[in-house]
Amino acid sequence: MTTRTRRSSRRSEALSRERIIEAAIELLDADGEAGLTFRVLTARLSTGPGAIYWHVANKGELLDAATESVVAAAVPLDPAGSARSPREEIRAVALGLFEAIDGHPWLATQLATQLSRSPWGSVTPRIFEGIGRQVRALGVPESGWFTSTSALVHYILGAAGQNAVNGRTAQPGVDRGEFLDAVSTAWEELDPDDYSFTRAVAGQLRDHDDREQFLAGIDLVLAGVTAIHPPDGQRR
Partner DNA sequence: ACCTGAACACCGTTCAAGT
Nearer to its own copies, 51 or 205 (CB): 205
The answer to the question of residue 39 lying near its own copies (CB under 8 A) is no
Residues 89-118 that bind its own copies (CB under 8 A): 108-109, 112-113, 115-117
Position among 19, 59, 87, 208 found at the interface with its own copies (CB under 8 A): 208
Q: Which of 43, 57, 73, 216 binds its own copies (CB under 8 A)?
A: 216
Query: What are the two backbone dihedrals, phi and then psi, of residue 101, each rounded to the nearest 5 degrees?
Result: -70, -35
Judge whether 11 and 43 are in contact, CB under 8 Å: no
DSSP state of 33: G
Is 158 a binding residue for its own copies by CB under 8 A? The answer is yes
Residue 121 beta carbon to DNA: minimum distance, rounded to whole angstroms: 17
Give the three-state DSSP class for 157. helix
- Which one of residues 223, 230, 232, 234 is an interface residue with its own copies (CB under 8 A)? 223
Does position 204 bind its own copies by CB under 8 A? yes
Residues that bind DNA (CB under 7 A): 14-15, 36-40, 46-51, 53-55, 58-60
Rounded CA separation 121/113 (Å) = 12
* Among the listed residues 22, 3, 101, 116, the one whose alpha carbon sits nearest the alpha carbon of residue 66: 22
Are residues 211 and 166 in contact, defined by beta-carbon separation less than 8 angstroms? no
Neighbours of 136 (CB within 10 A): 17
Spatial separation of the C-alpha atoms in residues 20 and 18, rounded to whole Å: 5
State the alpha helices, DSSP H only, in 48-85. 49-55, 59-74
List 103, 201, 211, 231, residue binding its own copies (CB under 8 A): 201
- Cα–Cα dist 1/185, whole Å: 48
Q: Cβ closer to its own copies: 16 or 196? A: 196
Q: By C-beta, is 15 or 183 nearer to DNA?
A: 15
Q: How far is the CB of 169 from its own copies (least distance, A)?
A: 11
Q: Supply the minimum distance, in Å, between the C-beta of residue 32 and DNA.
A: 12
Give SS3 for 130.
helix
| Residue closer to its own copies, measured from CB, 9 or 122 | 122
Of 64 and 210, which has the nearer Cβ to DNA?
64
What lies within 8 Å, CB to CB, of 97 at 6+ separation is 71, 74, 75, 127, 156, 157, 160
Contact residues toward its own copies (CB under 8 A) are: 77-78, 108-109, 112-113, 115-117, 119-120, 125, 128-129, 132-133, 135-136, 142, 145-151, 153-159, 161-162, 165-166, 170-171, 182-183, 186-187, 190, 194-198, 200-201, 204-205, 208, 213, 216-217, 219-225, 227-228
